Chain A
Amino acid sequence: MTVKEKNVVFFLSKRVFRQLLYVLMWLLLGGIVFPMVLSFITGTNYNLVEAIRNITLGPMLYIIIGCLALLSYSDFKILIQNGISRRTYWKAKVIAFLGISGLSQVIGILYVFLIRQTLSGTGWEKYSLFMQIYGGFFKNTTVAYLMSFLFAILSSFVFSLFCILIGSIFSLFTKKQRRLIFLALITLFVVGIMTTADGYNRYGFTVSSKVINVLNFLAGYDKSTAGKGLNPTMPFIDLIIFGIFSGICSLKVMKHFKIRNE
């Protein structure tokens, strides 16, 4: 990595951290402080321990960081003003978000264990979707835990990459166009669901066995191991392929970024 690339990574990481702290501060205010103050005012019972125990930090950070990865154009503007190429911006953004999302998941995992130890919070087995779906495959609990940690981190990487891709696609459009696309997508989604539901009620169609087979394959379902949990190798492979695809596509899209009249 060149000095310039390192500086861009530092610049973007700092910005994302600042935005992340800002969002977390509001969540803390809205999720803990505000209900606490409200309970003082109304005289209702408020359980702070319960509130802390219920915080799902990992998934929360997962979503927030994904949302922050959607924002591309404002960073691009300031970087292009400062003589940074689109490729360097992409590279730095990917590195920054991989680092931040990985770190956030490590913090999320540690938080689960810390809360379990101190406040009798939910165990990792119930907390982790991976453990619930694929945990039965492993005979060794430590290996299952390690794999689920890895999965949590890898999935956060891929989610961030996917969000970078979506954000970069939206950055190609003007604010007005983005609003119209957003409205069109919501309309399409609602109409699509209604049409599907209506079609199902009228004709009672079933999903093709080919589609089910593909989904089973992607999920790691194997008839021979049925009942013992799904094969956990496939979701890792799926994630890696999807992550690479998202990364390459976002680079291709970002290479078309240009300054707009807004």
Chain B
Amino acid sequence: MDGIIVKEIKKSFNKATILKNIDLQIKPGKIYGLLGRNGAGKSTLLSIITNRIFSDEGTVMLDGNTVFENDEALGQLYLMSERNLYSNSSKLRQLFNTTELLYGNFDYNYAQKLANMFELDLNQKFGKLSTGYRTIFKLIVSLCVPAKYVFLDEPVLGLDANHRELFYRELVDNYVKTGKTFVISTHLIEEVANSLEHVFVIRDGQIIVDGDVDDVLEKAYLIAGPVKEVEQYTAGLNVIGQETLGNIQGSYVFGELDSERILPDTVTVEKMDLQKLFINLTNARGEKK
């Protein structure tokens, strides 16, 4: 099982290049994070993977078969996006029935249970829902649909803190029970960081980080101390960001440290969390001074 292999995807809108040579692999049974700032190309990439829009170049394969106009492959993918593709005049129960008809094996019981948990009345029409409840409805579908690969594009848009927490809990629970693959595209990293196993960071249409979260964070450091000592210690290392307060400087380093280098007593080395790493990787260098 190769999973999804995205190869050399390029996409431009008018004269703006959105994706430049994207290569990545999504293996079955993992929770992936697709992280990037607004306009980085996350939604475009997910739309291409799920055949909603076309790439200018490149291929998307699922277990060796192209996804392009392939019903069998598309039936294994589900994209929950902020765009509302459901009919406004349809009742939520009818939309569940449509999902069952076209995907098969929709988990009605679980959907009802989730609707109760989120206090969503399934007899309402989709068009009458608020932004938050539209998101909730789409999240319920994405958790109950039998697709092996579920793509969640900004899944907590418009949700309050309680609903967000409830969703993350259900996501992990669903993942453990079904073994589905989830790809979560978001810029709210702090909340989702604990759930992710693998991360793609996209910047200016290119994947700049592709690795398991533990491996990635293993190479992410915050070197703090007096400006002069920190600069000496980090010289030649991959410094992705800096923060300065008076004579104290914090340098964010992504990559291996030089084990030969002696750490001054006044300088400390700490691990970076995913959010800090993301912010520094996707900021232009020095922007945070």
Contacts and interface: CB of A to CB of B under 8 A. Distances in A.
Interface in A1-20: 2, 4-5, 7-8, 10-11
Interface string A82-118: 1111111000000000000000000000000000000
A10 B53 CA distance: 26
B65 interface: no
Contacts of A179: none
Contacts of A83: 50, 71, 74-78, 102-103, 147
Interface string B65-83: 0000111001111110001
Contacts of B102: 4, 7-8, 11, 79, 82-84
A228 interface: no
A41 interface: no
Contacts of A81: 79, 85-86
A74 interface: yes
Given A259-B53, A259-B83, A2 B71 contact: yes
Interface residues of A, number: 24
Given A86-B69, A88-B71, A7 B85 contact: no
Contacts of B244: none
A175 interface: no
A78 B86 contact: yes
Contact of A78 (B76, B77, B98): B98
A178 interface: no
B87 interface: yes
B275 interface: no
B38 to A, nearest CB: 15
B99 interface: yes
B12 to A, nearest CB: 14
Interface in B202-231: none
Nearest to A4: B71
A79 B43 CA distance: 19
Contact of A85 (B51, B54, B78): B51
Interface in B89-104: 98-99, 101-103
A11 B100 CA distance: 11
Contacts of A85: 51, 69-71, 74
B113 interface: no
A82, A84, A85, most chain B CB atoms within 10 A: A82
Interface string B31-47: 00000000000000001
Contact of A258 (B52, B75, B77, B147): B52
A80 B52 contact: yes
Given A11-B101, A83-B102, A86-B69, A259 B74 contact: no
Given A2-B71, A4-B71, A10-B101, A78 B52 contact: no
Nearest to B88: A74
Contacts of B75: 4, 83
B71 A84 contact: yes
Nearest to A82: B102
A82 B103 contact: yes
Contact of A74 (B54, B69, B87): B87
Contacts of A7: 101-102
Given A4-B102, A78-B85, A85-B71, 11 more contacts: A5-B71, A10-B101, A11-B102, A79-B102, A81-B85, A84-B71, A84-B102, A258-B53, A259-B47, A259-B52, A259-B53
12 contacts: A4-B102, A10-B101, A78-B87, A80-B51, A80-B85, A81-B79, A82-B99, A83-B77, A83-B102, A85-B69, A85-B74, A259-B85
